[in-house]
Amino acid sequence: MSTYNTIYARGTDTAPRSSLHTQTVAFSHYNNISAQLPVDPRSGKVVAGGVAEQARQCLANIKAILESIDHVMDDVVRITIFLRHISDIEAVDDVCATFFTSYVPTRTTLAVADLPMDALVQIEAVVSNGEGTIPGAPQAGDLVKVARNTENAPTSPGATQTVAFSHYNNISAQLPIDPESGNLVAGGVREQAGQCLNNVKTILGSIGHVMDDVVRNTIFLKNISDVSAVDEVYATFFPNYVPARTTVAVAGLPMDALVQVEAVVSHGDGTPPQAPEDARRLVIEANDTENAPKDPRSSQTVAFSHYNHISAQLPLDPRTGGMVPGGTKEHASQCLANIQAILESIDHRMDDVVKLNVYLRDMAEIDAVDEVCTTYFPSYVPARRTVGVSALPGDALVQIEAVVSNAEGTPPAA
């Protein structure tokens, strides 16, 4: 693979450090920030107080990381907020408003079953990187972040519907809200999934995009048993091409919704001031290999521009299609082996991973997952998120997804 771009991993003492993840990993035009817990970097402990104090510390840690790499909070393109209790959303909203006073990024908010260190909240960010990471070169200069909303989809004062930067659009997670009434649509999970996806489609249509431009979807479900019903609806929105995908069981969603859908979308023409010769519609490259589990609802890897998006991997043996025997350690090892097989099939390796997202059934097993991760990342550790979930597809104990560098990029359409 080409070494034209370079992964740029950095850390600062003004935010919590860990040997298990890097605080920020920049590649091409994005910085990927590890999910921040409400940890005081001086003491290494969770700050005193309730969810407001904890949310403030999470965001202060993100701000410290950004300042250490000459960025500011307005460079944040997306934030994801993991709460222990969905009822805490308003308190966290109030804190977020003090860190984003003039601009709000795209956003996803959900409640999970557990968080490391028994925290009440954890926040992660994806950040623009205008200078890029080509060694000794400015890449495309100071790109412009383009934030847009349409009245035809639900609007929120706490989030922008879509924020484009360089060759990606980041879509705020869509709830099953009727944009005319502002209320949840009537019906069950099928109707709600249809509304979520229709909201995504409407946002894309407002910026000249279509559903086939989606690179990755994340589906957050209140009940993991609803996945088959959601799949039926999903197939009507993606009849030919299926993006990379992750399905997560949540403890709660805003407005007590049953489902929420988040999308990452290609942006072939880029954001200005990219030169006209760069304003070409790049090709989405979706690939599968027989050496990792296949799923008709997702592509194993979808590359666009300088990133590969790997579908969340369950601990499935690709030869049998069944769960591997054993506990969390064996499950984590199979998930990472599947990711490694996918990467090798596209001439990549584990050191090309920029961000790792771990979904864990039992947070008490985090040390077992960490131990396995060190065998796959012996010299370099990517940015990372770990959350506890109440259930996973197939009753798995762990599920892992990855965002991977793609130094050579994807070609323009002929």
Give how many domains the chain has, as a whole number: 3
The chain-wide mean pLDDT, for the chain, equals: 94
Q: Which two tokens stand for residue 220?
A: 């957050």
Residue 238 lies in a domain: yes
Note the pLDDT tens digit of each residue in 89-111: 999 999 999 999 999 999 999 99
- Our measurement of the distance from residue 197's CA atom to the centroid of its chain's CA atoms, rounded to an integer in Å, reads 17
How many other C-beta atoms lie within 10 A of the C-beta of residue 163? 26
Q: Report the alpha-carbon distance of residue 179 to residue 238 in Å, rounded.
A: 22
Beta-strand pair 106-111/76-83 = parallel
- Same domain for 118 and 202? no
What is the rounded average pLDDT of the residues 16-43?
A: 96
- Same domain for 165 and 246? yes
Q: Is the pLDDT of residue 80 over 50?
A: yes
- Same domain for 27 and 156? no
Residue 287 lies in a domain: no
Beta-strand pair 244-249/214-221 = parallel
* One-letter amino acid of 138: P
pLDDT confidence of residue 414 = 54
Tokens 């969603």 identify what position?
A: 253
- Same domain for 87 and 133? yes
Note the pLDDT tens digit of each residue in 33-53: 999 999 999 999 999 999 999
pLDDT confidence of residue 408 = 79
Which CATH number do you get for residue 320? Answer: 3.30.1330.40
194 burial (CB, 10 Å; 0-12 / 13-18 / 19+) is buried
Q: Is the pLDDT of residue 121 over 70?
A: yes
List the domain range (segments joined by +) for residue 409.
Answer: 295-414
- Same domain for 325 and 191? no
- Same domain for 199 and 327? no
pTM above 0.75, yes or no: yes
pLDDT confidence of residue 2 = 47
- Same domain for 156 and 250? yes
Residue 289 lies in a domain: no
- Same domain for 304 and 185? no
Model confidence at 411, in pLDDT bands (50, 70, 90)?
confident
Note the pLDDT tens digit of each residue in 356-408: 999 999 999 999 999 999 999 999 999 999 999 999 999 999 999 999 999 87
